[in-house]
Structure 1
Amino acid sequence: MIVLSTFSNGDQSDIDKNKGIAILAYIIFFIPLLTAKDSKFAMYHANQGLLLLITAVGINIISTVIPFIGWWIIGPLGNLAVFVLLILGIINAANGQRKPLPLIGGFEILK
């Protein structure tokens, strides 16, 4: 079950302070681990960024292992899907939302 988490008004300062870090988490997921490990908002987006990285690596491994279908169908469509999820995650972080990515966002690796 995926539940959209909302922040209380007391967490608005956390969102405002760490919005840039949360955006960077989708490009380099470990940035919040080093700079904002006390921020629930930044760590949430670091988790989403890590899930996105694992998905991208998995898609690229699968597309490399399976000849023809992987190279011509799975690889391009999978990488396009990862790019769309990347944009959605960045938009959510920029808007101060704690919204899981479609399909993969329900998992929690970083706590």
Structure 2
Amino acid sequence: MASKDKESRLAQMSYWEEQLKLRLAQLAEKDIAPEKAAKDTEVKKIRAKIRDTRDRLMAIEEREKKLEEMASARAEKAAKPKESKKQKKQREEQAAQSKRQQKKKKKKEKKAKAQ
């Protein structure tokens, strides 16, 4: 979608800023005070569009930043040496063994030594 594209949002921002300048110039030609010009419905509408566009641009930038962070994390993970399956299994067994499993293992080892 074009509305999710940063360049199109920047173009929209410049468009609405130009429209605001034109509207304020029109109101100035009619000798309307700046306080009343701020209350003009067209000016309010244009300023709302500018705010919406600015908010959307911030969301796009946050998304880009998050993607960069994820890419760097992925690169770090790929650069880290992989753990062998045997080492991984041993580490998981040690971390996951309950007391019952430990007793069972000791009993089994005792039996194996006795035979």
Q: Same fold (TM over 0.5)?
A: no
Q: Which of structures 1 and 2 has the larger relative contact order (alpha carbons within 8 angstroms, sep 6+)?
A: 1
More helix by share: 2
Larger Rg: 2
TM-score of the pair, normalised by structure 2: 0.39
